[in-house]
Amino acid sequence: MKAYLDNAASTQVHPEVLEEMLPFLSENFGNPSSLHAFGRKGKAAIENVRKNIASYLNCKSTEIYYCSSGTEANNMALKLAVSNLGVERVITSKIEHKCVLNTAEFLNESVNISLDFVELDQLGRCKLDYLENLLKQSNKKTLVSLMHIQNELGTINPIQEIGMLCEQYDAYFHSDTVQSIGHYPIDLTHTNIDFLSASAHKFHGPLGAGFLYVRENIPLKTWLHGGGHERNLRSGTENVPGIVGMGKALSLANENMAKDESYITKLNNQLKTGLQSIHSSIKFNQHESFTSHRILSVSIPSGLLDDMFSFKLDLAGIAVSAGSACSSGSAKASPVIEYLNLHPNDTTIRFSFSIFTSVEDIEYVISFFKKNILKPN
């Protein structure tokens, strides 16, 4: 038996998504910029998806720009804010995804923008009073870049309140919502976000498709030069099959969001209860009210683990994200875990669930831990 519990990294393409994509890999293969019938079919398809994305986010279709990934979308937001909007200062956190953190550090080094970091609570949630103090400290044009759901811990940031602070202090707000789009409702009419990033493969769409939302009153110049695609922001022939798949995946996710959330919460609780029953020293890195149920971060004292822990997990066909700061033969702990000082002598594992995770998968993982990993109390 195999158990894939690394859905925060990438999800299985939904069968209905694949079915939707196939015609655009075979008979409807035209370039969407071509004027003939083959091209017009592709163009119509991607514009229909753009409208559907906009309807889910409660924004305008002209505010949606296609790109290749969440990484590209995040790079676009930060770099264009600096080059096009006169941003001289970025406020972010030390536990952002590397594509945000490394981009902010690059801008700090290459064009000398100021770079400030918010304080976080023990599990990585932004301290709003600290953010407000940072916003008060400088008159420089500022971009705040804070992710909605932290990709390793599942911690949910208060983006509604962050957006209000940014509006109050005339700062731009970018949010990496790669872990939340398709799993968590976001209404852009009632949330002050200027830039928002998403990636299809996090919600059962294909790899290589994503989008950037840009609020309509924000003027941006060209990101990629060429034929003027994506209203002259990002040139390059659109990935029609990927975009069509992304649209179908988002449609399915939004139609079934409440049901899927209930199912995934049950899986999360099942695994948590099972691990708790094995050893009382296992710790769960989660807020009671501010953690996505799609992610369960677990810290296990390294003295309870076999030195070949990571190897045995893989050999058993269990796919998770794991790292340790001290265990022999294990990967080094992530910078997120180290920065937050979350149980530094423990091995931390991220389990992440999807609608294709089964109750049997969870039972298999619990059984494996009982038999092969943990020593008895």
**142-157 tens-digit pLDDT:** 999 999 999 999 999 9
- In 241-357, DSSP assigns E strands to 283-284, 295-301, 318-319, 321-324, 346-352
Task: Please check the confidence at residue 39 and state whether its pLDDT lies above 80.
Answer: no
**Are the C-beta atoms of 313 and 305 separated by less than 8 Å?**
no
Task: Please check the confidence at residue 278 and state whether its pLDDT lies above 70.
Answer: yes
SS3 162: helix
User: Which pLDDT score is estimated for 1?
Assistant: 63
Task: Please check the confidence at residue 326 and state whether its pLDDT lies above 90.
Answer: no
Angle at 319 between CA 316 and CA 322, to 5 degrees: 105
**Are the C-beta atoms of 294 and 183 separated by less than 8 Å?**
yes
Percent of the chain with pLDDT over 90: 76
Q: What is the mean pLDDT of residues 125-131?
A: 97
Q: What is the mean pLDDT of residues 326-338?
A: 64
Give counts: helices (H), strands (E), the chain. 11, 13
Task: Please check the confidence at residue 374 and state whether its pLDDT lies above 80.
Answer: no
- Catalytic residue check, 126: no
Task: Please check the confidence at residue 324 and state whether its pLDDT lies above 90.
Answer: no
User: Which pLDDT score is estimated for 323?
Assistant: 55
pLDDT interval class at 31 (50, 70, 90): confident
At 267, give phi and psi (nearest 5°).
-65, -45
Backbone φ/ψ region at 341: left (φ over 0), alpha (ψ -120 to 50), beta:
left
Inter-axis angle of helices 240-255 and 37-57, nearest 10: 30
Nearest to 236, CA basis, from 85, 16, 32: 32
User: Which pLDDT score is estimated for 228?
Assistant: 79
Joined together, the tokens standing for residue 61 give 């279709």
User: Which pLDDT score is estimated for 328?
Assistant: 36
Q: How would you classify the pairing of strands 89-92 and 142-145?
A: parallel
Q: Is 244 exposed, middle or buried (0-12, 13-18, 19+ CB in 10 A)?
A: buried
Task: Please check the confidence at residue 331 and state whether its pLDDT lies above 80.
Answer: no
Q: What residues form DSSP beta bridges with 252?
A: none
User: Which pLDDT score is estimated for 227?
Assistant: 85
**For the chain, how big is the Rg over CA atoms in Å?**
22
Q: How would you classify the pairing of strands 210-214 and 64-67?
A: antiparallel
Please, what is the average pLDDT of the chain? Answer: 92
pLDDT interval class at 184 (50, 70, 90): very high
Give per-residue burial for 328-355: e unless 16+ CB within 10 Å, then b.
eebeebbebbbebebbeebbbbbbbbbb
Task: Please check the confidence at residue 260 and state whether its pLDDT lies above 50.
Answer: yes
The DSSP symbol for 374 reads P
User: Which pLDDT score is estimated for 330?
Assistant: 45
- Identify which has the larger pLDDT, 333 or 238: 238
Domains belonging to the chain, first-starting first, are 3-10+256-372 (3.90.1150.10), 15-255 (3.40.640.10)
**Are the C-beta atoms of 292 and 156 separated by less than 8 Å?**
yes
SS3 215: coil
The 8 Å CB, 24+ separation contacts for 43-47 are 45/240, 45/243, 45/244, 46/238, 46/240, 46/243, 46/244
Task: Please check the confidence at residue 22 and state whether its pLDDT lies above 90.
Answer: yes
pLDDT tens digits for 59-97? 999 999 999 999 999 999 999 999 999 999 999 999 999
Nearest to 54, CA basis, from 140, 178, 181: 181
Q: How many CB atoms lie within 10 A of CB 27?
A: 10
Q: What is the mean pLDDT of residues 24-33?
A: 81
Distance, in Å, from the CA atom of 310 to the CA atom of 274, rounded to the nearest integer, reads 20
pLDDT tens digits for 78-88? 999 999 999 99
Q: What is the mean pLDDT of residues 239-251?
A: 96
pLDDT interval class at 190 (50, 70, 90): very high
**Are the C-beta atoms of 124 and 155 separated by less than 8 Å?**
yes
Give the type of residue at 61: S
How far CA 80 is from CA of 114, 218, 232, in Å, comes to 16, 11, 14
**Are the C-beta atoms of 134 and 166 separated by less than 8 Å?**
no
Q: How many CB atoms lie within 10 A of CB 290?
A: 16
Q: How would you classify the pairing of strands 172-176 and 195-199?
A: parallel
Q: What residues form DSSP beta bridges with 48?
A: none
- Write down the catalytic residue from 67, 99, 166, 326: 326
Task: Please check the confidence at residue 375 and state whether its pLDDT lies above 70.
Answer: no
Task: Please check the confidence at residue 288 and state whether its pLDDT lies above 90.
Answer: no
Task: Please check the confidence at residue 327 and state whether its pLDDT lies above 60.
Answer: no
Joined together, the tokens standing for residue 178 give 């790669």
Q: What is the mean pLDDT of residues 306-333?
A: 72
